[in-house]
Amino acid sequence: MRFLAALMLLTSTMTSAGDPNSVVEGWKTSPVYVDPTQSVLVSDEEAAKLAERVEDYDPAIRIAVLPEEALDDGRRDKQMSAEAFVDTVAYKQASDGIYLVVFGDRITWAKAVGVTSPIDGVLAEELREHGRSDPVGTLNGVLDQLDVPKSSSGVPGWLVAFLITLGLLAGGGAAVWWWRLRQETEEEPEPEEDPQPDTLEERRALAREEVARFGAELDSAGLTKDGLGEEAATDLQAAQAAYAAATRVIDGKPDDDQLRGVRATVGYGRWRLACAQARVEGRPVPPFRALRPVRRSGGL
């Protein structure tokens, strides 16, 4: 099943170059993440120009340039590995948009999440024109076809950085002023949140409760693969696989990284279950952004 790869990536704690967590962390500061080993393919200057093009574009566009080794997840089919990797980073980013990931000079993969975009055909056309050894040309060609404005090359990079820093400082000062004004005018203090679990064992217990709750949701859905359409059956099977994967981890002695993986896996499984239910009822499947984790007091 094509989404099992994403589940395996979600529940593992990858430390090799170009792992999904590094990509998502990099996107917090720029919509273009280039692994340090890939500066020969995409230089810092080229990455900055790409980032300037896609910054604030709607729908959001996120780009990653990774080493080919990021595809080494044990599969012979590297296209399936690429698809699973992009599914994983899109899930962890938890927002709609267009995702473009370059894996060295081996594969470039694109995915539109929760938005309508001809990205697959556009990427295929640009790869035929530029080839995999020219990711900058390919990426700029894709952005051209998506009508993304070109970067303003006349503005020095240091000036852009300075203006951004100045804006952040001004925004921070405004936030402090607003907070003080709010504290002075508030009549009642906001209720304090429940304390977070202090020990690893407490966090494990909360994770077990969450997995058990997801299992109960699967049972109460009353769905079986028999009689379902192909897409709904695939969704249900993915949800069941997510529950099984989370259960295997939680039955051991998971550390905090593994517990975070369990949370992501349960969230993914709930989304696939919701997709199956929507297909059965003739409703549109829920958007990918619905996967954003739900925060519970003291929760997982």
Confidence of residue 300 (pLDDT cuts 50, 70, 90): very low
Instruction: Kindly report, residue by residue over 90-139, the tens digit of the pLDDT.
Output: 888 988 999 999 988 788 989 899 888 888 888 988 888 887 778 899 99
Which amino acid, residue 8? M
Place of tokens 């303003």: 152
Residue 183 confidence (pLDDT): 62
Q: Which of 39, 163, 154, 59 is nearest to 111 (CA)?
A: 59
Segment 229-245 mean pLDDT: 89
Q: What is the mean pLDDT of residues 247-253?
A: 90
pLDDT 10s digits, 194-233: 556 678 888 999 999 999 999 999 999 888 888 788 888 8
Question: Can you tell me the distance from the alpha carbon of 60 to that of 94, in angstroms, rounded to the nearest whole number?
Answer: 12
Find the mean pLDDT for residues 246-259: 89
Helix (H) / strand (E) containing 110: strand 107-113
Q: What is the pLDDT of residue 48?
A: 93
Longest Cα–Cα distance of the chain, Å, equals 64
Q: What is the mean pLDDT of the chain?
A: 79
- pLDDT tens, residue by residue, 129-173: 887 778 899 999 999 988 899 876 544 455 445 556 666 666 666
Per-residue pLDDT tens for 176-186? 666 666 666 55
Average pLDDT over residues 241-267: 89
Q: C-alpha distances in angstroms, 240 versus 83, 228, 233?
A: 21, 15, 11
